[in-house]
Amino acid sequence: MISSITLRVNYSETDQMGVVYHANYLVWFDRARTELMRETGLTYKELEQRGVYLAVSEVRIRYRAPARYDDLVQVRCWVRELASRRVTFGYVVERAATSELLATGETSLVSLTHQHTVTRMPREVLDLLKPIPDPVRI
């Protein structure tokens, strides 16, 4: 499964040069990841109610072309790797009108308890998060 969201770049997301500030891509990744979870049938809220938190432990982004104010961008997200205590998501950010590649990335998240200790993800969560081959080169 690959989820996709479309966003319009806000003025507040850009720097003095009119280019999207690099840290905003992390926010976009988070939004796309949240939608992917929702599309699997399990929201973050429901997961946390089950006593499991997913905490970002690693991030990698490769910027390829600038996104600018008022651009429509598409952010796609998928599961790259899955282990009992960790899930890695892949991302691609493209200009919506042309599919121009703007950025690629990945985040790894570890499964934590409410006491912030590492724990196994519940079997039903592992069953919902199916890794797929990368649709683009990360």
Mind telling me the catalytic residues? 15
Reading the block at residue 25, the tokens are 């891509």
- Cα distance between residue 52 and residue 36, in whole Å: 17
- Cα distance between residue 94 and residue 99, in whole Å: 5
Q: How far is CA 5 from CA 32, 54, 82, 86, 122, in A?
A: 6, 21, 22, 24, 27
| Whether the Cβ atoms of residue 138 and residue 106 lie closer than 8 Å to each other | yes
